Amino acid sequence: MPSHVFAQYWLTREDTYFFVSSGLDIRNATFGGTVNPAAYDGTWTAGYRNENFSILAYYETFSAIKYESMGVNPGYVFRPGKMLIPVVDLSLSFIRRPFKTYPSLALNSRMEFHFSRFFIYLRGESRWRTDYDFFQVSVYGGISYKFGFPK
């Protein structure tokens, strides 16, 4: 089968799409964290879904504590094409602090509520903070816009 026909088939499925997202750490924004008062800790994400497979690249910035994180998250999508979709993924990432960069690993679970062209999400993250050498649990919320599938 020619590759353009194959690509056209997959990009016409409702459960296959690209997405961009913006979110924030809810606890840090409202109450503060373990080492900071309440402050903006935001994320930017670009991703791709194909039925049960998900992959995304993200960037997180938290200037109040001079923290940045970036990585790639391969994941599994439960119930693709439904309105309420659970997703789990593994974050293969780096933490960047002033003068040093650390490898990092996190396990994420996400609950998404889908509309036609966008979805909102709540994501729990358990991250090995190699810059401080401990596990940290965070909760993020955000909104995503879907594109690359028929209307």
CA pair distance 67, 60, nearest whole angstrom: 8
Quickly name the fold that domain 3-147 has. Porin (2.40.160)
> For the chain, which residues make up each domain, given as ranges?
3-147
Q: Which residues contact 116 (CB under 8 A, 6 or more apart)?
A: 151
| pTM assigned to the model | 0.86
pLDDT in tens, 65-76: 999 999 999 999
User: For 99-149, how does the pLDDT look when each residue is reduced to its tens digit (9 = 90+)?
Assistant: 999 999 999 999 999 998 999 999 999 999 898 888 999 999 999 999 986
